[in-house]
Amino acid sequence: MTKILYLPFDEVDARQLIPVLNEHAVRSHLVAHPPFDETNIVPWIESKLECDRLPGCRVRVIVMDGAPVGWCGIQPDGDEFELAVVIRQQSWGIGPSVFRVLRDWAREFGHGEVVIHLLETRPEYRFLTRKATRVSHSRLLGRGFTSYRIPISSPASAV
C-alpha cells in the first residue's frame, strides 16, 4: 500500500502544486477561479498557512510517492469548521482514507461536529450520508452545494 503523507504547505515546492490544482477534473468540482501560476499560487499558499495557524484548524498537502496529489484540511466556516479535500483525479480512491485522517484531526481538536460542502457537480456519497446528522442543499456564488454535518464526538463515529 502506498504511504500517504500530510505535509505543511511550506514544506512542498509550490510549483509542484500548480498542475494538481489546475487539473480539469479537479477544477470542475471547485468554485470557478483563475488557473494557478507561479505568481498567484504564492498568496493562496500563504492563506492556507495562515489558516493552519488558527485554533482548531490544520491544512496540509497530500503527498504520495514523493509527489503532491492534492490538499486537505480543517478550515473555519463561520462559527463552525469545514473539512476540505481536493485530490487529483488519478488519486480519487484515497478520499475515504483522507476523510478518516481529517476526522481524527477534528477529534484531536475536540470538535463535536464538522461540515463538508460538496459542489453540485459531485454525487451524493452514501458513506457521508450514513455518517451525517444532517444533509442539506444550498446555493453560494450561484452554485449549488450539498452539505454534510458529520459528528466527531467519539471514536464510535468512525468511518
Percentage, residues of the chain above pLDDT 70: 92
Full strand arrangement of the beta sheet holding 143-151: 4-7, 58-64, 67-77, 80-87, 113-119, 143-151, 134-140
pLDDT (mean) for 38-46: 94
Quick one: pLDDT at residue 159? 46
pLDDT (mean) for 28-52: 87
Q: Please tell me the pTM assigned to this model.
A: 0.87
**47-56 confidence digits (pLDDT tens):** 999 999 999 9
Burial grade of 70 (CB within 10 A; 0-12, 13-18, 19 or more)? buried
Q: Domain count of the chain?
A: 1
- Cell digits of residue 36: 494557478
Cβ proximity of 132 and 103 under 8 Å: no
pLDDT (mean) for 79-101: 91
pLDDT (mean) for 101-116: 96
Please name the residue that has the C-alpha cell 505535509.
Answer: 7
Whether the pLDDT of residue 18 is over 90: the answer is yes
Quick one: pLDDT at residue 154? 57
Give the DSSP H/E element, type plus range, for residue 27: helix 24-27
- Cell digits of residue 6: 500530510
Distance (Å, whole) CA 115 – CA 29: 17
pLDDT (mean) for 116-145: 84
Distance (Å, whole) CA 89 – CA 24: 9
Split at pLDDT 50, 70, 90, the class of 121 is confident
**Maximum C-alpha span of the chain:** 44
Q: Which of 108, 68, 102 is nearest to 82 (CA)?
A: 102
Distance (Å, whole) CA 37 – CA 22: 9
Whether the pLDDT of residue 157 is over 50: the answer is no
Assign residue 72 the CATH number of its domain: 3.40.630.30
Quick one: pLDDT at residue 158? 47
Q: 53 lies in which domain range?
A: 4-157
Pairwise pLDDT comparison (158 vs 81), residue with the higher score: 81
